[in-house]
Amino acid sequence: LAKTTQPPSMEAYEGQEVNVSCSHTNIATSEYIYWYRQVPHQGPQFIIQGYKDYVVNEVASLFISADRKLSTLSLPWVSLRDAAVYYCIVTDRGNNAGAKLTFGGGTRLTVRP
């Protein structure tokens, strides 16, 4: 059973705000939520992480529902450079913190000029 469910693809125009959703209905109390993105010919790049409520950094913001079963990555004012595959990951930090970062299929974001 997949730990996360994301839409396989999304489209947006430059300058729009994009919200990428991720469902993690079986998230455990010890698990954190991470978002990464991958552009062609590069490894994934960390965007943001959170446990609950709302997190913001210079790149994106992350809203996590009260029951933690749903998270939404928000990208303000997307540009062509934001075209990438966005991965939502939940993982237990545990004793081997970060040891099992499991990637699903991700959401492919297409940005049109």
Partner 1 sequence: GGIITQTPKFLIGQEGQKLTLKCQQNFNHDTMYWYRQDSGKGLRLIYYSITENDLQKGDLSEGYDASREKKSSFSLTVTSAQKNEMAVFLCASSTGTANSDYTFGSGTRLLVI
Strand arrangement of the beta sheet that strand 54-56 belongs to = 18-23, 70-75, 61-64, 54-56
Q: Does 57 bind partner 1 (CB under 8 A)?
A: no
β-strands 45-50, 18-23: how paired?
unpaired
Instruction: Provide the sign of the torsion angle of the four alpha carbons 72, 73, 77, 82, taken in this order.
Output: negative
Q: Does 102 bind partner 1 (CB under 8 A)?
A: yes
- Binding residue for partner 1, selected from 53, 93, 110, 112, defined by CB under 8 A: 93
Structure tokens that stand for 107 in this block: 């959401």
- Least Å from the CB of residue 21 to partner 1: 17
- Binding residue for partner 1, selected from 19, 26, 45, 79, defined by CB under 8 A: 45
Q: Which residues pair with 18 in a beta bridge?
A: 75
Of 16 and 49, the one with the shorter C-beta distance to partner 1 is: 49
Q: Which spans of this chain sit near partner 1 (rule: CB under 8 A)? A: 34, 36, 41-46, 49, 87, 93, 96-106
